[in-house]
């Protein structure tokens, strides 16, 4: 699924595109022009990093997209159909949202899944935040919504109303954001400091941080907005989970019910039962339960006979139930692509720079994804970490040495506590660590303690940051709010504002389909 670019990338071309980008950068120390200067070696490295920037995709998400597009062809609005019928043409949009200053290399022979994935990367506002969906469009226009009036939220009608101020041909709908939350980005990058939350792009002393590594943008589950995003799939509420909204086995055939059935199939949900993901069949009926169905199941003798570990429904309040199984399966998708990309980076970083060699040992720094203002239950911390642990045990990850959970307030990953190990499908053991480290802190001391024979040239830092399903990397960074969250903090210490920006580095057509 990786698409070759139509023209060679040069350092000068990246600079030219960066200068043409219509929005001002709030910092300069982390710009590639400042990092490389006149150093030809660094310029060459940055070009290699740009070429190695990619979208990371789970194969099950590719299947989900096919099902999603089929539903849209049957039930979508005229606005949606016009875009989905010609996705390739829709990608020739410039950074401000009009036509073709920033045209993208795209093969007309690509299938619609590839084109849709590219749309998920390209059709984003600069920033998108808060429960009332404040947005900064690529043109710099701010979309302000009334927090007390849901009907005044423009994002809710993107793709639905011709009167919407946010055009669907230039920006994603909420239906699409649910899928883009499952997609990640990955970039080799120089680092200018240790990546602390308040680093604000200050130049750090290199002795205190890794000079370079790989940085992944990954998205957690968002529960700050009821009845949208993961809430629709994980939460079971008396108000939401009724047949008229598309829940239950006997729901009428509508746009909402068809979409929910596609998602129920993706998560293996047949009402109150969770089907093993490796046994999902197109011929079976998948659906999310009604609240009445879930409540009856929770109160049944069969459910009460289960052990605590076997129960995947938990009451949050009298009228709200949290589906742990769906939540963990959601986070497993993200954990899988995070781990598989990190493992692949260790053996496939480009060989044409002296900074990287093949077959490195990976230190993977994992931040809590969706565990800040998006979190709904405190127990999600443990469920998230355990989901990563389940991925570790079921994947082949011969190049990953450490998985370090940063700023996640738990003390175990499955049965492994700090310093303990989990065994991968490939037979090797990965050491699990917990702590409050900054993204780009030196990893040498960790290797010296646990793997003293691994030289510094064999060590590779892969770090993660909490991205958003509907923003550019950095999110609040583009407003100058450099320490508002982990997203702008990541933008400040790395080159992702340029290298993970498809209008500067057209990486959107390089899709790494993770090998399970």
Long-range CB contacts (within 8 A, 24+) of 443-446: 443/210, 443/363, 443/402, 446/363, 446/402, 446/404
User: Considering the domain boundaries, does residue 3 fall inside one?
Assistant: no
Residue 255 in tokens = 């746009």
CA distance 189 to 173: 31
Cα→Cα distances 292→161, 226, 310, Å: 33, 19, 21
**Alpha-carbon distance values, 262 to 71, 288, 489 (Å):** 8, 10, 36
pLDDT tens per residue, range 300-341:
999 999 998 889 999 988 899 999 999 999 999 999 999 999
pLDDT at 3: 30
Do 301 and 333 belong to one domain? no
Q: Quick one: average pLDDT of 81-94?
A: 82
pLDDT of residue 95: 57
Structural domain ending residue among the three candidates 318, 344, 378: 318
Amino acid 96: pLDDT? 54
Closest CA to 174 of 231, 108, 229: 229
CA-to-CA distance for 513 and 516, rounded, in angstroms?
9
**Boundary residue ending a domain (318, 346, 365):** 318
Classify residue 232: in a domain, yes or no. no
Q: pLDDT tens digits for 215-251?
A: 999 999 999 999 999 999 999 999 999 999 999 998 8
pLDDT at 278: 83
Q: Is residue 450 included in any domain, yes or no?
A: yes
The reply to whether 252 and 291 lie within a common domain is yes
The verdict on residue 24 lying in a domain is yes
End-to-end CA distance of the chain: 15
Hey, what are 123's tokens?
């059709």
Nearest to 433 by CA among 514, 445, 183, 371: 445
- Is residue 359 within 8 A of residue 399, CB to CB? The reply is yes
Which structural domain range is residue 380 located in? 11-53+185-223+328-513
Q: What is the pLDDT of residues 461-496, one digit of tens each?
A: 999 999 999 999 999 999 999 999 999 999 999 999
Mean pLDDT of 135-162: 80
Which of 52, 72, 180, 81 shows the shortest CA–CA distance to 124?
180
CA dist 151 and 60 (Å) reads 34
Residue 228 lies in a domain: no
Q: Is the pLDDT of residue 149 over 60?
A: no
**Looking at the structure, do residues 192 and 171 belong to the same domain, yes or no?**
no
Which three-class secondary structure state does DSSP give residue 125?
Answer: coil
Number of domains into which the chain is organized: 3
Pairing of strands 235-237, 320-323: antiparallel
Q: Check pLDDT > 60 for residue 352.
A: no
Shared domain check, 67 and 47? no
pLDDT at 188 over 80: yes
Residues 462 and 448 in one domain: yes
**Per-residue confidence (pLDDT) for residue 488, from 0 to 100:** 97
pLDDT of residue 110: 59
The residues with which 434 forms a beta bridge, in sequence order, are: 405
Per-residue 3-state assignment (H helix, E strand, C coil) for 464-507:
EEECCCCCCCCHHHHHCCCCCCHHHHHHHHCCHHHHCCCCCCCC
What 3-state DSSP class applies to 474?
coil
* Residues 126, 24 within the same domain: no
Which residue is associated with the tokens 């710009």? 31
Residue 285 and residue 172 share a domain: no
Dist CA 313 CA 101 (whole Å) = 51
* Residue owning tokens 């829940």: 247
| Gap between the Cα atoms of 243 and 252, Å rounded | 7
Choose between 314 and 103: higher pLDDT.
314
Are 302 and 397 part of one and the same domain? no
Better pLDDT: 138 or 151:
138
Place of tokens 């990965």: 430
Q: Are 384 and 371 in contact (CB under 8 A)?
A: yes
Rg (CA), the chain: 22
Do 81 and 170 share a structural domain?
Answer: yes
Burial of 112 (0-12, 13-18, 19+ CB in 10 A): middle
Q: Assess whether 138 and 47 both reside in one domain.
A: no
Domain annotation covers residue 378: yes
Residue 360 lies in a domain: yes
Query: Rounded CA gap, 160 and 344, in Å?
Result: 40
Q: Are residues 384 and 489 in the same domain?
A: yes
For the cut 60, the answer to whether the pLDDT of residue 108 exceeds it is no
> Rounded to whole angstroms, how far apart are CA atoms 34 and 48?
17
As separate numbers, helices (DSSP H) first and strands (DSSP E) second, the chain gives 17, 19
State how far the Cα of 434 lies from the Cα of 436, in Å rounded to an integer: 7
User: For residue 94, how many other CB atoms are within 10 A of its CB?
Assistant: 18
Mean pLDDT score of the chain: 91
Is residue 63's pLDDT more than 60? Answer: yes
The predicted pLDDT at position 351 comes to: 45
Contact 230, 223 (CB under 8 A): yes
Q: Is the Cβ–Cβ distance between 220 and 470 less than 8 Å?
A: no
Q: Which of 472, 458, 455, 311 is nearest to 399 (CA)?
A: 458
Q: Where are the beta strands (DSSP E) in 160-211?
A: 184-190
- From CA 453, how far away is CA 385, in angstroms rounded? 29
Residue 211 has pLDDT above 50, yes or no: yes
Same domain, 171 and 200: no
pLDDT band at 153 (very low <50, low <70, confident <90, very high): confident
Residue 5, in any domain of the structure: no
pLDDT tens track for 416-445: 999 999 999 989 999 999 999 999 999 999
């Amino acid at each position: 699924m990786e698409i070759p670019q139509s023209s060679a990338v040069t350092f000068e071309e990246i600079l030219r595109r960066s200068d043409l980008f219509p929005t001002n950068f709030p910092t300069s120390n982390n710009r590639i022009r400042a990092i490389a200067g006149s150093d030809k070696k660094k310029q060459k490295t940055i070009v290699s990093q740009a070429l190695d920037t990619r979208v990371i995709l789970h194969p099950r998400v590719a299947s989900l997209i096919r099902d999603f597009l089929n539903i849209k062809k049957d039930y979508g609005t005229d606005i949606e159909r016009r875009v989905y019928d010609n996705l390739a043409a829709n990608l020739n949009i410039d950074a401000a949202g009009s036509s073709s200053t920033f045209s993208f290399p795209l093969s007309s022979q690509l299938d619609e899944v590839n084109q849709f994935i590219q749309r998920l990367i390209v059709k984003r506002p600069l920033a998108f935040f808060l429960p009332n969906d404040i947005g900064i469009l690529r043109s710099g226009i701010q979309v302000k919504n009334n927090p007390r009036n849901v009907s005044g939220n423009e994002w809710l009608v993107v793709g639905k109303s011709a009167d919407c101020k946010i055009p669907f041909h230039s920006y994603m709908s909420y239906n699409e954001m649910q899928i883009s939350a499952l997609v990640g980005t990955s970039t080799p990058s120089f680092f200018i400091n240790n990546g602390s939350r308040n680093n604000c792009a200050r130049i750090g002393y290199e002795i205190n941080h890794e000079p370079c590594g790989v940085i992944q943008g990954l998205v957690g589950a968002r529960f700050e907005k009821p009845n949208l995003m993961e809430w629709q799939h994980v939460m079971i509420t008396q108000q939401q989970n009724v047949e008229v909204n598309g829940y239950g086995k006997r729901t009428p055939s509508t746009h909402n019910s068809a979409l929910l059935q596609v998602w129920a199939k993706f998560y293996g949900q047949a009402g109150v039962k969770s089907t093993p993901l490796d046994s999902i069949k197109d011929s079976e009926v998948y659906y999310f339960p009604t609240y009445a169905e879930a409540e009856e199941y929770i109160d049944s003798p069969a459910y009460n006979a289960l052990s605590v570990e076997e129960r995947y429904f938990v009451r949050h309040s009298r009228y709200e139930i949290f589906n742990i199984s769906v939540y963990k399966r959601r986070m497993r998708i993200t954990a899988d692509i995070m781990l598989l990309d990190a493992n692949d980076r260790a053996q496939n970083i480009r060989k044409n720079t002296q900074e990287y060699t093949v077959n490195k040992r990976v230190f993977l720094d994992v931040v809590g994804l969706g565990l800040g203002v998006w979190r709904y239950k405190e127990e999600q911390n443990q469920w998230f970490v355990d989901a990563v642990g389940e991925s570790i045990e079921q994947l082949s990850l011969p190049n990953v040495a450490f998985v370090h959970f940063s700023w996640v307030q738990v003390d175990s990953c499955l049965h492994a506590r700090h310093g303990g190990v989990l065994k991968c499908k490939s037979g090797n053991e990965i050491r699990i660590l917990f702590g409050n480290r900054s993204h780009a802190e030196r990893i040498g001391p960790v290797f010296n303690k646990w793997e003293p024979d691994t030289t510094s040239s064999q060590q590779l830092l892969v770090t993660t940051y909490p991205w958003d399903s509907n923003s550019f990397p950095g999110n609040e960074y583009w407003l100058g709010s450099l320490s508002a969250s982990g997203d702008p903090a990541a933008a400040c210490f790395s080159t992702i504002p340029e290298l993970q920006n498809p209008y500067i580095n057209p990486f959107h057509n390089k899709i790494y389909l993770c090998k399970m």
